[in-house]
Structure 1
Amino acid sequence: MKDFGSDKKNVLQANLDAQKIAFAPIMFQAAKSLRNLGILQYLFNKDKASIETIATELNLSVYGVKVLLEAGLSLEMVYLKNNEFILTKTGYFVLRDEITNINMDFTQDVNYLAINHLEKSIINGKPEGLKELGNWDTVYVGLSELPEKIKKSWFDFDHFYSDYTFPEIMPILFDNNPKSFLDVGGNTGKFALQCAQYDSTVKITILDLPGQTNVARKKITEAGFEDRISTIAINLLDNSIPFPKGFDIIWMSQFIDCFSLDEIYGLFRRAYEAMSENASFYILETFWDLQRFQASTYSLHATSLYFTAVANGNSQMYHSKDILKVIEKAGFLVDEMHEIIGISHTLIKCKKRIL
């Protein structure tokens, strides 16, 4: 890995950041309450207001508004001038930024209780926090059974980042006029439906767990694409089950971060064995070392801990070199690499290495 980060803070700044870490769960709840109770929205609408005015207008206690806004000062979501509170840029992001709100809801609804089991997950190599959501080996088995609020937050988080890539990747994928896709880990069929809408002749087969393919089939039927999109329900971790052959493109989108490096190798080898010499293998993924902004890297590092404690206990958001090594080991050559697709993704096109 190349060098990353430094230790150039002075002692006062380092101590302040340490206290932010120490109180992070408490202050997260304060930020969420400022958002959910309408205090940030009120300040956005009115530009500035006193504690008493906000309490009266929102039918909240003076005490409640006071403790939340005082926490907001240290969170730098608001500042105080002439006894009135004013929204900061950070406060605006918590209020209105779509990514921030999706991340916050994902943290609260999916992770907040579960992440308390992180240490045990590290020691045992299992997602010990998953028991807070349900009795499954991995979160993917239970996705269709999650309570609606938690399910919404999970899928909003999962889909948001990949959805932004579709307009950019479609011209790349269809440049050579492919006739068929194998969508490995196709989930609820969002990518497959986008392909079917983009090209009127392409056919797509989705491989995924039964819970996901059941949902995908419903969406495919609703969209009227039963003739061009099919599904196959399989255990993707069973390396004894080969991938079907005869596809121009094998596609894995925001998928390999759900698996350990050994498991990824098994998936890549099955893709290799299913491909003809002229087929292409595409991987769309978020790599923490290839991000344009520090906020993206921070979010990906945090998401890795979700995989550790909640999702499966053995995967993460990877460094690009980790995956490039597995690509080579599985027998592929990298043909193209497109960095910063959408918000934070990288698109890797592979070809079979012919020995």
Structure 2
Amino acid sequence: MGQKQDMEKELGYLCVDGFIKGMVDARTLTTAFEIGLIDALLQKRPAPPEALARDIRCPKNGLDMLLELLATNNVIARTNGTIRLTAEFKEALDYRDLLLAKLDFAHIAAHDFIEYFSQLVADPQGFMQRASMFRLFSYGRCFDASRENLELAQRWVRITTMLTRFEAGVCFKHHEFRNYRRMLDIGGNSGEFALQACRRHQWLKATVFDLPLVCNIGQAHVSGEPEASRIRFIKGDALSDDLPGDFDLVTLKSVLHDWPDQETQLLLHKAAGAVRPGGTLLIFERGPLDIAKTGLPYSLIPILLFAHTFRGPDMYRKSLAAWGFREIDITWIDLETPFFLITAVKPA
């Protein structure tokens, strides 16, 4: 497979966004999953509406309304009086978990967008205090393993894990990991980024540093994988606790945008200190939204809510250069929004 085809394969997951362009599209698709229609069509192949209504125990008039809405979103098509899933939607179902996670993420964000968008524009700090999105992503609740805290963390970790599962492959296509043996992933969440790296490189050992409750979820996430013995979790607060050191690769994947400039500089400096001489620091982050280029489909409403937090790479580049890092390379990557990849080598 050529390099271009290989990259197209890694980007194949982006097809799911085509079915989450509008709120009505997303809500009707979620309903189709919830009431079992998608699975019924996968099992029965083309089926008449009457049979589908019986199978999923749905009133025929309600199902007809749903089918019409799904047809406008190219999820289903009618052929000789039967209903079938389109080829395009079947392709998206190859990424079913990601599709469901993005639907969930968008629905969480939609309420905040409708209720508090004026605050997002005029008072970002006030918006963050009101929005349910930021109560969900409440890192302060990841120290106490109460049932409520666990349920909240599991929900957002599931979303970020699905995003990372497919974004990781893009990162690996732009930076070669084969020469690394010891990797530290700061804020590594469920360990998905480390898992994907270890899966591709059997000699790599990874350490994930994250909050205690997140590490508990992460250990369960990787426990059944063949690579589990090469992934360890260290519980702590990267802002206040010491990080382990002497790694030939330290990664920060979708972490730094969560923090104001002062905390970001602290995290970056501590990450730099964990890199052994001659090792590499890697940053993979979402950049500022380019709405004129991407538009704003419903699937990107969650990203819009974080719009004030996304930076370009300049601050990171200047800091790394000031600390003596060399071979600082910045690559912009177009996914559903712009990403950038920074790699820098610590002087020996």
Q: TM-score range by the shorter chain?
A: 0.5 to 0.7
Matches of 2:255 and 2:190, distance apart in 1: 13
Q: How many pairs does the alignment contain?
A: 317
What is the SS of the residue equivalent to 1:278?
Answer: strand
Aligned match of 2:70:
72
Aligned match of 1:63:
61
Give TM-score scaled by structure 2 length: 0.65
Contact 1:170 1:195 survives alignment (8 Å): no
Matches of 2:74 and 2:174, distance apart in 1: 42
CA RMSD of aligned residues (A): 4.9
Give TM-score scaled by structure 1 length: 0.64
TM-aligned CA deviation for residue 259 of structure 1: 3.0
Contact 2:188 2:210 survives alignment (8 Å): yes
Residue deviations 1:280-308 (CA, integer Å, cap 9, x gap): 11123344779xx959x858843323547
TM-aligned CA deviation for residue 185 of structure 1: 0.9
Contact 2:283 2:341 survives alignment (8 Å): yes
Residues 276 and 150 (structure 1 numbering): CA distance in 2 closer, same or farther, change over 3 Å? closer
Matches of 2:299 and 2:287, distance apart in 1: 8
* 1:328 paired to 2:326: no
What is the SS of the residue equivalent to 1:279?
Answer: strand
Contact 1:207 1:234 survives alignment (8 Å): yes
TM-aligned CA deviation for residue 84 of structure 1: 6.4
Mapping of 1:13-28 within 5 angstroms?
25=23, 28=26
Stretch of structure 1 that moved more, 80-89 or 180-189 = 80-89
Matches of 2:216 and 2:26, distance apart in 1: 36
Residue deviations 1:193-217 (CA, integer Å, cap 9, x gap): 5556666665544322122234445
Contact 2:136 2:156 survives alignment (8 Å): no
* 1:105 paired to 2:109: no
Mapping of 1:241-320 within 5 angstroms?
243-275=243-275, 277-287=277-287, 301-305=300-304, 307=306, 315-316=309-310
Matches of 2:200 and 2:89, distance apart in 1: 39
TM-aligned CA deviation for residue 94 of structure 1: 6.7
Question: What amino acid maps onto 2:316 in structure 1?
Answer: V
Matches of 1:226 and 1:77, distance apart in 2: 37
Gaps of 5+ in 1: 1-19, 309-313
Question: What amino acid maps onto 2:269 in structure 1?
Answer: R
- Among 317, 342, 346, the alignment partner of 1:348 is 342
- Among 157, 161, 164, the alignment partner of 2:163 is 161
Residues 333 and 142 (structure 1 numbering): CA distance in 2 closer, same or farther, change over 3 Å? farther
Aligned match of 1:11:
none
Question: What amino acid maps onto 1:335 in structure 2?
Answer: I
Contact 1:261 1:326 survives alignment (8 Å): no
Question: What amino acid maps onto 1:351 in structure 2?
Answer: V
Residues 338 and 135 (structure 1 numbering): CA distance in 2 closer, same or farther, change over 3 Å? closer
- Structure whose CA Rg is larger: 1
Residue deviations 1:27-57 (CA, integer Å, cap 9, x gap): 533232233334455566454635x454344
Residues 46 and 250 (structure 1 numbering): CA distance in 2 closer, same or farther, change over 3 Å? closer
Contact 1:186 1:207 survives alignment (8 Å): yes
Residue deviations 1:202-235 (CA, integer Å, cap 9, x gap): 5544322122234445667777999865544332
Question: What amino acid maps onto 1:49 in structure 2?
Answer: P
Question: What amino acid maps onto 1:163 in structure 2?
Answer: R
Mapping of 1:181-192 within 5 angstroms?
181-192=183-194
Question: What amino acid maps onto 1:61 in structure 2?
Answer: P
Aligned match of 2:33:
35
Contact 2:211 2:237 survives alignment (8 Å): yes
Residues 337 and 63 (structure 1 numbering): CA distance in 2 closer, same or farther, change over 3 Å? same
What is the SS of the residue equivalent to 2:58?
Answer: coil
Residue deviations 1:114-154 (CA, integer Å, cap 9, x gap): 55554376231525233896694667668985588876653
Residues 74 and 139 (structure 1 numbering): CA distance in 2 closer, same or farther, change over 3 Å? farther
Residues 170 and 304 (structure 1 numbering): CA distance in 2 closer, same or farther, change over 3 Å? closer
Stretch of structure 1 that moved more, 194-203 or 65-74 = 194-203
Residues 257 and 64 (structure 1 numbering): CA distance in 2 closer, same or farther, change over 3 Å? same
Question: What amino acid maps onto 1:101 in structure 2?
Answer: L
Question: What amino acid maps onto 1:315 in structure 2?
Answer: T
Residues 287 and 83 (structure 1 numbering): CA distance in 2 closer, same or farther, change over 3 Å? same
What is the SS of the residue equivalent to 1:186?
Answer: coil
What is the SS of the residue equivalent to 1:235?
Answer: coil
Residues 186 and 86 (structure 1 numbering): CA distance in 2 closer, same or farther, change over 3 Å? closer
